[in-house]
Amino acid sequence: DADVTQTPRNRITKTGKRIMLECSQTKGHDRMYWYRQDPGLGLRLIYYSFDVKDINKGEISDGYSVSRQAQAKFSLSLESAIPNQTALYFCATRAGDRTIDTQYFGPGTRLTVL
C-alpha cells in the first residue's frame, strides 16, 4: 500500500464550487505539504504544516485553505474554485525530527475547474 495517498485522483468541477482534496499518510511523519504543478512548470508550495497545531502559508496560498485533522491527514480546500486553479496537486510528507530528510510525495490529484 502507498505511504501517501490522495483522494480524489481526478476531479472536474465548475467555477464557484467548493472543493476539498484529501491527503493521508502512513509514514508517521510530522510535516505535510501541499503543492500545485502547472503544465511545463515545477511545483509550487501552497501550504505546509509542521504538526497538527502548526499551519503555514507557502508561496501561493491565496484562494486556498487547509486543515490538519490529525498527524496523518492534511486537507486542501478551494472555497470557490476558479479556472486558473486547474492544475495537478501533490501532497507530500517529511519527518520532522532530522535536519536532513527527504520528502515523500503522493500520486497527485488532477483538478479541472470549468
Partner 1 sequence: DAKTTQPNSMESNEEEPVHLPCNHSTISGTDYIHWYRQLPSQGPEYVIHGLTSNVNNRMASLAIAEDRKSSTLILHRATLRDAAVYYCIPTTGANNLFFGTGTRLTVIP
Q: How far is the CB of 112 from partner 1 (least distance, A)?
A: 15
> Which of positions 11-70 make contact with partner 1 (CB under 8 A)?
33, 35, 40-45, 48, 58-59
Nearest by Cα to 90 from 64, 67, 108? 108
Q: How far is the CB of 61 from partner 1 (least distance, A)?
A: 13
Distance CA 88, CA 84 (A): 12
- Residues 84-113: x where in contact with partner 1 by CB under 8 A, - otherwise, as a string: ------x-x-----xxxxxxxxxxx-----
Q: Tell me the site size for partner 1, rule CB under 8 A.
A: 25
**Closer to partner 1 at the Cβ: 21 or 106?**
106
Nearest by Cα to 22 from 81, 69, 83? 69
Non-local (6+) Cβ contacts of 83 within 8 A are 15, 113, 114
Using the rule CB under 8 A, is 76 a contact of partner 1? no
Q: How far is the CB of 36 from partner 1 (least distance, A)?
A: 11
CB 27 within 8 A of CB 3: yes
Q: What is the chain's length?
A: 114
What residues line the site for partner 1 (CB under 8 A)?
Answer: 4, 33, 35, 40-45, 48, 58-59, 90, 92, 98-108
